[in-house]
Structure 1
Amino acid sequence: MNEKNTLGLNSCFLDLSDPYQLFEKWFEEAKKNEPNDPNALALSTSTKEGIPSVRMVLLKEFNSKGFIFYTNLNSKKSNDIKENPNVAMCFHWKSLLRQIRIIGKVSQVSNEVADKYYDTRGYESRIGAWASKQSSILKNREELMNSIEKYKNKYPDEANVPRPDHWSGWNLSPSSIEFWLDGDSRIHERLKYIKNEKDSWDKVLLSP
């Protein structure tokens, strides 16, 4: 028998007032079931003129303040964010037939937070942060490989590669988080958390 929570939804939605707790539960399930990159998400940004752009990025941390990803600050996504901090995230876990949509505003993480994560990256990834002018046009692939070699020569000590000023993290502070579960005959189950004026969360059910 399919157990239900107090809202009449599948028991996987639990009965939690804090969406971060529910996200953590679903994320842990995804890490057990998704074969590749359970932390992958579609990130949607737009320019100040409202022209949208979407790409896949990796979630690196989340807490009660939001959801953090890292990138080149001169990339297309970062330039969009500088013009328009309103963004959206979407996680889709096919193995679980679940989806999570998050909407909110993005702000840059502190240098301390960025340094701490950067230092956990592999040597090649840290060099890549220096070598790649993300989203810029390459004359050819050799141009990028030469840049990588240049920075390997500059920073040969694998334990001592400083974080570039142009590389950091963005934190999405959500105004809403929607949890979605696939249903038979497209009668899906949807639960949305909306942040209210008291900085707490209201829960609403959405029609599929």
Structure 2
Amino acid sequence: MKDANWLNDLRVSYETRGLHESQLLPTPMQQFQSWLTEAIEAELPEPNAMVLATASSTAQPKTRTVLCKLVDERGFVFFSNTQSAKAEAMSQNPQVAISFLWLQLHRQVQIIGEVEQVSRVETEEYFATRARSSQIGAWASPQSETITSRDVIANRVNELEAEFKDVDQIPAPPFWGGYLVRPSSVEFWQGARSRLHDRLRFELADPGFMGRSVLNRADAWVVNRVAP
């Protein structure tokens, strides 16, 4: 058996070239797209996986990993059951944080912002691109509810497969939709030698900019270096 303190011996030396202000693209969304592209090209597992942090009306925090399905000038979009625990938390408190971790590249991106639901049209358009089995799965799962066994879901899937047998395009459930995180702060972290990592943070020059089309303008943001 390993010593109780064996975790102390786990160390990785970051030999990456670091991150300088001159390397940043004009807006955080452009910079994020660049890093995401590099993560995809490096064939990292699920490079669009992100940790979503919420806090309820009683300030109870909770995190979970979800998949980002769209990144554009508005922010970051993911989809979920709208009756889930995270949906309830977001309805109580729209202030959220998300983070992307690409360990093999020694990179992390941390985003703070507000979340809102996307339009039903956008939800339906995305839902239509999902595999049929995933569409049925969205209908079958009473997400976050306690169930007696896995058979509850399996039986419901069988029922839905029969119900939708002759339906070419399964519609999105009314209790399923997309969420958009509009960023007010986006921090890019790059591992460096001697634990002197680089942290460059984009922040809105004016909080009133949030939710407006100026987010894709360089002059909407200020960049600060943060100590590691």
Shift of 1:106: 0.2
Correspondence 1:171 to 2:180: yes
User: 2 CA distance for matches of 1:119 and 1:84?
Assistant: 29
Identity of matched residues, %: 35
> Which range moves more in the overlay, 189-198 or 20-29?
189-198
Residue 100 of structure 1 is aligned with which of 84, 88, 109? 109
Q: What's the offset of the Cα at 1:159?
A: 2.5
TM-fit CA distance, 1:16 = 2.3
Paired with 2:84 and 2:197, the residues of 1 have a C-alpha distance of: 36
**Matched residue, 1:51:** 60
Q: How many residue pairs are counted as aligned between the two chains?
A: 203
Of 87, 95, 98, the match for 1:78 = 87
Are residues 12 and 40 of structure 1, via their aligned partners in 2, closer, same or farther at CA, if it must alter by over 3 Å?
farther
Say which SS state the counterpart of residue 170 (structure 2) adopts: coil
Q: Which residue of 1 aligns with 2:141?
A: 132
Q: Is the 8 A contact 2:100 2:109 kept in 1?
A: yes
Q: Report the CA distance shift for 1:73/1:116 in structure 2 as closer, same or farther (over 3 A).
A: same
Query: TM-score, length-normalised on structure 1?
Result: 0.93
Check the 8 A contact 1:108/1:170 in 2, yes or no. Answer: yes
Structure 2 Cα separation of the partners of residues 13 and 114 of structure 1: 38
Q: Does 1:207 align with 2:227?
A: yes
Pair 1:3–1:185, CA change in 2 (3 A): closer
**2: distance between equivalents of 1:37 and 1:147?**
28
* Deviation at residue 67 of structure 1 after TM alignment: 0.3
Q: Higher helix proportion, which one?
A: 2
2:199 equivalent in structure 1: 190
Structure of greater relative contact order (alpha carbons < 8 Å, 6+ residues apart): 2
Give 5+ residue unaligned stretches, structure 2: 1-14, 210-219
User: Cα offset for 1:196?
Assistant: 1.8
Give the CA deviation at 1:34.
4.2
**2:6 alignment partner in structure 1:** none
Choose from 112, 129, 132 the match for 1:120: 129
Q: How does 1:143-162 map to 2 (within 5 A)?
A: 143-157=152-166, 159-162=168-171
| Structure 1: distance between partners of 2:191 and 2:117 | 34
Q: Distance in 2 between matches of 1:34 and 1:76?
A: 32
CA RMSD of aligned residues (A): 1.9
The alignment partner of 1:95 has SS state of helix
Offset of residue 3 of structure 1: 11
TM-score (norm 2): 0.85
Does 1:16 pair with 2:25? yes
Structure 1 segments of 4+ aligned residues over 3 angstroms from their partners: none
Counterpart check, 1:66 vs 2:86: no
